[in-house]
Amino acid sequence: MERLLALAGRVLDTEAEAIVAARRRLDRRFTEVLDILLGMSRSGRVVMMGMGKSGHIGRKIAATLASTGTPAHFVHPGEAGHGDLGMITADDVVIAISQSGKSDELLRVMPYMKRNGIRVIAMTGVADSPLAQHADALIDTAVEREACPLGLAPTASTTLTLALGDAVALCLLEARGFTADMFAATHPHGTLGRKLLVTIGDIMATGEDIPRSNTGTTVREALVAMSRGAMGFVTVLDASGQLVGVYTDGDLRRTLDRDLDIRATPLEAVMTRRFTSVRPEQLAVEAVELMEHKHVSAVPVVDASGALVGAVNMRMLLDAGVV
């Protein structure tokens, strides 16, 4: 087992060294790649191509580009010559991955790129390879050695290619001013998407589901509404329907501590008049921060005029996945 742990360490060292060496080689050739991609037509897409392990890496790079503001997709070189070349237009830029630069499937479709004026960026470890000679720009993926002890399986080279793909994607993100809000728009099911897109209005209780009571009622009567709403509080409205207070679980404990008769005590005598509220257009994550700061577990939701339009509690926010 010690021998295997040592091998695992050497694999990680070899792959890390490949990335560090590539970092030292970064030069104007990389900025030329960025210039081509930034100059791409607004209707254009980045088309990733590669065979085998290179293809798997290409799919991941395409996914990273697409999620960070650069439309991209993958076209399999083997299928390209059987009609899939139609997926590539003159507005696109092709990034072709081949460590040797001799992939037959890629080289066979290069004439199509030339005839149609489609720019090609080669990701290869051999700068004078046939693929590099066909390309308009080069991303150098050369490695001193693979991490595979047999020297056969693409390992350090695929790790480096993936890292350089990330570098391209994030440079484009920075150059285009891509923001967290833009990222969330394409990741609505992810944690960040929920935090940046879900508003209080999306999850709040409305209508008959809002726990409410009225001034003039007793605490006991208000407890019926609180229990029915199951939100840990009840909103209190005056005769005109204006929200004038809330009565919470904490208020109930304080009422009982004072030995007040809940059957006779009017609600307005013990309700909280200075309460925290939120607006429906606010982000749900903002409600979490506010409620944690104020040490409350539920709040009414009001519109611009202060009218009651909903209610939200921490359980609802947890269920929405914004906590």
Using CA atoms, how far residue 162 sits from 15, 51, 61, 83, 134, in Å, is 11, 14, 7, 28, 22
How many whole angstroms separate alpha carbon 147 and alpha carbon 28?
28
Burial 31-70 (b: 16+ CB within 10 A, else e): eebeebbeebeeebbbbbbbbebbbbbbbbbbbbbbbbbb
Q: Which ranges of the chain have pLDDT less than 70?
A: 179-197, 322-323
- Residue 181: what pLDDT? 62
Handedness of CA 236, 240, 243, 244 (dihedral sign): negative
- Fold: same for 2-178 and 200-319: no
Q: How far apart are CA 236 and CA 272, in angstroms?
A: 9
For CA atoms 4, 10, 14, 19, give the dihedral sign.
positive
DSSP string, 157-174: HHHHHHHHHHHHHHHHHH
CATH number of this structure's domain 2-178? 3.40.50.10490
Bridge-based pairing state of the strands 119-124 and 93-97: parallel
In this prediction, residue 122 carries a pLDDT of: 97
Q: What are the domain boundaries of the chain? A: 2-178, 200-319
Q: Please provide the CATH number assigned to the domain covering 200-319.
A: 3.10.580.10
| Whole-number pLDDT of residue 54 | 95
In this prediction, residue 206 carries a pLDDT of 93
Q: DSSP for 18-86?
A: HHHHHHHH--HHHHHHHHHHHTS-TT--EEEEESHHHHHHHHHHHHHHHHTT--EEE--HHHHTTTGGG
The number of angstroms, rounded, from the C-alpha of 48 to the middle of its chain's C-alpha atoms is 22
Q: What is the pLDDT of residues 55-113, one digit of tens each?
A: 999 999 999 998 888 889 999 999 887 878 889 999 999 999 999 999 999 999 999 99
Output the pLDDT for position 43: 85
| 232 contacts 297 by C-beta, under 8 angstroms | yes
- What is the pLDDT at residue 194? 56
- How many Å is the Cα radius of gyration of the chain? 31
| pTM for the whole structure | 0.65
Of the candidates 164, 78, 76, the one whose C-alpha atom is nearest the C-alpha of residue 125 is 164
Please list the residues that pair with 96 across neighbouring strands.
49, 122
From the list 268, 271, 272, 261, the residue with the least C-alpha distance to 220 is 261
pLDDT at residue 298, as a whole number: 92
Q: Give the strand order in the sheet containing 233-237.
A: 212-214, 233-237, 243-248
